[in-house]
Amino acid sequence: MPGFIFKKGRIGLVSKSGTLTYEAVDQLTKAGLGQTTAIGIGGDPIIGTTTKEAVELLMNDPETEGIVMIGEIGGGMEAEAAHWIKANGNRKPVVGFIAGQTAPKGRRMGHAGVIIGGADDTAEAKMRILRECGVHVVESPP
């Protein structure tokens, strides 16, 4: 990612999408909010850090005042993170976005991590779960 888009700030970011990681970082910088940490975990089936682990780190970071969580269709990491937020108390505002809302059902998209395997893997289901757990869900990136 180009270093000039990053700016020290107060928002933590975790993203399952590489492209949306730097897009969100750029928008946070342009909005004057900056970032405490930006974690691009990717959407591949085998990863090193889960969305929940990243959200937990950001929630416990005293410099982070708010969290942006970007997910995508396929898998259950966003729901796991949302349930953790609800169970542990949403101590900071969390904004969530799920990419892939217009993806055709039943079709393989992008990479192996974007295979919709069940009813809770769809964008609609993930957005519903996030809302139920207290995450402010946006329909599209600004």
Check if 83 is active-site. Answer: no
Catalytic residue among 30, 108, 111, 131: 111
Burial of 86 from C-beta contacts in 10 A (0-12 / 13-18 / 19+): middle
Strand extents, DSSP E, the chain: 8-15, 35-40, 66-72, 94-99, 136-137
Between CA 26 and CA 35 the distance in angstroms is: 10
Task: For the beta carbon of residue 92, count every other beta carbon within 10 angstroms.
Answer: 18
Q: 16 Cβ partners below 8 Å, 6+ apart?
A: 41, 42, 43, 51, 70, 71, 72, 77, 78, 99, 113
Catalytic residues: 111
